[in-house]
Structure 1
Amino acid sequence: MSYFTSLSPIAQAAIATCFTWLMTALGASMVFFFKNINKKVLNAMLGFAAGVMIAASFWSLLAPALEMAENAGNKTPWIPAAVGFLCGGAFLFLVDKILPHLHQGEPIEHAEGISTSWQRSILLVLAITLHNIPEGLAVGVAFGAIAANLPSASEAGAIALALGIGLQNFPEGAAVSIPLRRERLSRAKSFWYGQLSGIVEPIAGVIGALLVIIMRPILPYALAFAAGAMIYVVVEELVPEGQSEAAHSDIATLGTMLGFTVMMVLDVALG
């Protein structure tokens, strides 16, 4: 840990997001052991991911954004948080409309984004990749904020965020690779595409860390931006998918409660 703390925030962000990517890969490796994924289990996974992202959005991103704006002498600290939050949602809204993707269980005709002739399996992977962009960005911004030497930006808090994102990436990786196996892909290809969905996290993480270090005044906006992007994913993607079957909706709800609690405890205890 002493070696890790001696690294620059950008290097820390790269390592932390490589960890979250690794957790996605470990989850994707479940395809070598299981042929199918129970719908109740899938709903619980989606709910857990949603809970982690909701808690992280407030405890690790919005609250520090408000505190940083106040410490900077901003008389209206809610403005950077509100503007950044809405811009994060707007960014994911545009990506959602542009990036071709398909949600689990949907026919190919229901693919979203620009029209394409890509295979169904690729579109399914891109749907999860869309989730991972704000996750990597959030971790990167959290580590980049350490360079600003502000009381609310702590290394422990950034590590807690990376741990929380990594925890929910494990079931998310399985939720990608196992359904791909049902699409008649080999186990090796299902694993490859499953772990590949997390490759955007290190990329987004390094970009996020670089931006806040280069342009420190935008830090509260950047934190809130990542929060808005994550909440958009939760409301637009995770909650509807987890609640798609009324008979199993309570499982997703309980998963959300558990995910929120785990992330809250991690952030408060470590941060």
Structure 2
Amino acid sequence: MSEWFQAQNAVVQAILGGGLTWFITALGASLVFFTRRMSQPLLDAMLGFAAGVMIAASVWSLLLPAIELAEEAGRPGWMPAAIGFLLGAAFLRLADFLLPHLHLDQPASKAEGLHTTWRRTTLLVLAITLHNIPEGLAVGVAFGAAAEAMITGDAGPTLASAIALTIGIALQNLPEGIAVAMPLRREGVRPLKAFWYGQLSAAVEPIAAAIGAAAVLVITPILPYALAFAAGAMIFVVVEELIPESQRGSHADLATSGTIVGFIIMMILDVALG
């Protein structure tokens, strides 16, 4: 019975963690109520910061625990990490190929995915929503892994490390909320509508977090693969979207500095709390 309660608690914790990351995204989007524009150097630095956080989280919070869990189970540590990482990146690539979406500051003619007549606003939101899925999964898998370690008594990710990962992802969601809502506001969209679309992009995170936590608790052997899967999906987002977007303007050095700072902060969070 105690195992059942721990499992249920992990799913609730994952939903709360995903809810926090959603709230911080909404907080970033809420800036449209105060201004139509944001300093481009600052936004580039914040996007770089988000990239650094996600890279560090993928290593310390996801890949290293996946390797450790595999080795404790008597398997080659690299195997689940490599397979899960590849599957996570492949999943995001397939979704990127199929789901209609439009990257920031791109004309409608540059929409990716299957052809559609959906509005530009919808395509912009879908682009960020697609990239928020792995963040929600990462939070859920982390809480599920922590609960599984408590149930079995084995070494593995701790509740503190899951919280550290959630804090890191929440921090980097702030610029993502701004990055969705502010361009819409510049294009003349009303503040409330721009905010609505900005926060909506992260609404998927609590759902993805619940799915991630439940999956690793129901099918325990997939845990190291699930951790690496989330890492692969997150790194895909960093390389395909965040870093190119942060480097697109004339503030590449500032964006790179933001990446370094984000990496260090996430590394400290995970090592200190985990």
Is TM (by shorter chain) over 0.5? yes
Matching residue of 2:233: 229
> Is 2:17–2:139's contact at 8 Å kept on the other side of the alignment?
yes
- Structure 1 runs (4+) deviating above 3 angstroms are none
Post-superposition offset of 1:47: 0.4
Map of 1:36 onto structure 2: 37
Indicate the residue corresponding to 2:3 in structure 1. Answer: none
CA RMSD of aligned residues (A): 1.2
Counterpart of 1:8 in 2: which secondary structure? helix
1:200 equivalent to 2:204? Answer yes
Q: Give the letter for the 1:64 counterpart.
A: P
Give, in angstroms, the shift of residue 7 of structure 1.
6.6
2:90 corresponding residue in structure 1: 90
Distance 2:73 2:184 in 1: 48
Query: What per-residue deviation string (whole Å, max 9, x for no partner) do you get for residues 88-127 of structure 1?
Result: 0000000101111111111110000111111111111111
Residue 6 of structure 1 deviates from its aligned partner by 10
1:45 to partner: Cα distance: 1.5
* Contact kept in structure 2, 1:66 and 1:220, CA below 8 Å: yes
Contact 1:58 1:227 in 2 (8 A): yes
Aligned partner of 1:184 in structure 2 is 188
The worse-fitting range, judged by mean Cα deviation, of 169-178 and 200-209 is: 169-178
- Deviations 1:186-226, CA, capped at 9 Å, x for gaps: 00000000000000100100000010000000000000000
Partner-residue secondary structure (3-state), 1:118: coil
Report how many aligned residue pairs link the two structures. 265
Counterpart secondary structure, 2:251: helix
Distance 1:6 1:72, change over 3 A: closer
Give unmatched runs, 5+ long, in structure 1: none
Q: Distance in 1 between matches of 2:191 and 2:26?
A: 13
Q: How does 1:136-215 map to 2 (within 5 A)?
A: 136-149=136-149, 150-215=154-219
Does the CA contact (< 8 Å) of 2:7 and 2:144 recur in 1?
A: no
SS at match of 2:112: coil
Among the aligned pairs, what percent are the same residue?
A: 62
1:264 aligns with 2:267: yes
Whether 1:251 aligns to 2:265 is no
Letter in 2 for 1:9: A
Deviation of the 1:183 alpha carbon: 2.2
- The answer (yes or no) to whether the contact 2:147–2:159 under 8 Å persists in 1 is no
User: Partner amino acid for 1:213?
Assistant: L
Tell me the TM-score normalised to structure 1 length. Answer: 0.95
- Residue 122 (structure 1) aligns with: 122
Unaligned runs of 5+ in 2: 1-5
State how far apart, in whole Å, the 1-side matches of 2:231 and 2:53 are: 12
Q: Is the 8 A contact 1:20 1:165 kept in 2?
A: yes
Contact 1:37 1:179 (C-alpha < 8 Å) held by counterparts: no
Say whether 1:242 aligns with 2:246.
yes
CA distance in 1, matches of 2:47, 2:194: 19
Contact 1:121 1:183 in 2 (8 A): no
